[in-house]
Amino acid sequence: MPAQRLFLDAGGRAPVTPRTADALRAGLADGWADPARLTAESRRARALVDGAREAIAEAWGVHRDNVHLASSVPFAVERLLTGVFTARRGRDRIGVSTIERDLVLDTADFLAPGAVDRYPVDADGHVDIDAVRQGATHPGTALIALQHGNHEIGTLQRLDAVADITEPAGVPLVVDATATIGHVPAPERWDALIADPADWGAPAGLGVIALGPRTRWLPHWPEGSDPWAPGGVSVPLALAAAVALQEMLEGMEAEARRQHALVDRMRAGLARVEGVHLVGDAVERLPHLLTAAFLYLDGEPLVTRLDREGIAVGSGSACGKAAFEPSHVLAAMGALTHGNLRIGLHPGVTEADVDRFLAVLPRVVEQVRQSMTA
């Protein structure tokens, strides 16, 4: 009998829980009508969306009116950066770290061609605070976009130190929390926040934005009922997102401890493989993510062979344009960019699963290395 599939590629996507699947069903049964209309059916759909926003806002300690559901995460990033940038008329530079997501970097380049300042990171992936300070005090800086935690290597940024700089400088701090919400406590100091329900266990298809009460923002696109979600969001997806977040938060502390220990166990096991480099901060990190870079091999055959053994892992740029584009995150950190493997744990992964992975991996690495020199 073949061993059960082992899914270790849960950065951003994972099987949904029964409770979340039920929420999607309920959202479809009660929320099929257009929330923008005026009959009982529409009022019910509107109440579901409002309730979902309310639940998410409450989890973050902000007011519901400051939370917006968007059609997708990239759309949320694009509209948010565009809106904040446009409101800062006369300032034309954008500051980012070198290890932001592709979609943040691409949007910044689109808005401020040739005027995106890339702040370097140290060997563990923490952004250079001096570079942030220089950027924040530059009179041309319209906004600074930094991630809460990295989607590939798991390193958590020290956002308190960053906010200590951006707040007095009056530069809006846009925080990309798409890899962290639901896994660790939400960041507290930001002018705008972006989150990804699919990363906290909801079905993919929504983005979430929170705006600080004083954050200025100007639209720069065709008019419409909802700038964050032209045409409105899917009611079932909104309900499922709120329920999945609630479920994650209920168990977050214990689950974070458990996953942190599992990744420690994995790091210890992987460290015994020849020619491996464990990337990112071993302590100040997301509990569930791990990237390892291997000498003398490519990521694609590694993923493919593990897949055939029944184990799903990631590689390449976690959320890049192509699954095997070399990771700019690893490049920015001076790590090997080709032979890497990215692990994302979800609540269903056990210690026995980790041990199974660790038992299989050295043989597969050896096979890939041999096939590449053959």
With beta carbons less than 8 A apart as the criterion, state whether 237 and 27 touch: yes
Chain centroid, CA 303 distance in Å: 21
Binding of a second copy at residue 115 (CB under 8 A)? Answer: no
Q: Which window, 83-91, 112-120, 231-239, 350-358, contacts a second copy (CB under 8 A)?
A: 231-239
Q: Per-residue x/- marks for a second copy, 292-311, CB under 8 A?
A: --------x--xx--x----
Q: What is the DSSP letter of 173?
A: E
* Paired sense of beta strands 93-97 and 289-294, if any: unpaired
In the complex, minimum distance from the CB of residue 293 to a second copy, in angstroms, rounded to a whole number: 18
In the complex, minimum distance from the CB of residue 142 to a second copy, in angstroms, rounded to a whole number: 16
88-91's contacts with Cβ under 8 Å and 24+ in sequence apart are 88/142, 88/143, 88/172, 88/216, 91/139, 91/140, 91/141, 91/142
Q: Which of 232, 280, 287, 339 binds a second copy (CB under 8 A)?
A: 232
The SS3 assignment for 70 reads strand
The neighbour count for residue 230, using CB atoms within 10 Å, is 15
Q: Which stretches does DSSP call E strand in 148-206? A: 173-176, 192-195
Binding of a second copy at residue 128 (CB under 8 A)? Answer: no
Q: Which of 16, 57, 153, 292 binds a second copy (CB under 8 A)?
A: 16
* Paired sense of beta strands 93-97 and 116-119, if any: parallel
In the complex, minimum distance from the CB of residue 337 to a second copy, in angstroms, rounded to a whole number: 17
Rounded CA separation 348/360 (Å): 19
Q: Which window, 47-55, 84-92, 103-111, 364-372, contacts a second copy (CB under 8 A)?
A: 103-111
Binding of a second copy at residue 37 (CB under 8 A)? Answer: yes
Q: Which of 129, 169, 273, 312 binds a second copy (CB under 8 A)?
A: 312
Specify the residue, 132 or 368, whose C-beta has the smaller distance to a second copy.
368
Binding of a second copy at residue 109 (CB under 8 A)? Answer: yes
Rounded CA separation 242/49 (Å): 9
Contact residues for a second copy (CB under 8 A)? 5, 7, 9, 12-16, 21, 24-25, 28-29, 32-34, 36-42, 71-75, 78, 102-103, 106-107, 109-110, 203-205, 207, 221-225, 229-237, 300, 303-304, 307, 312-315, 321-324
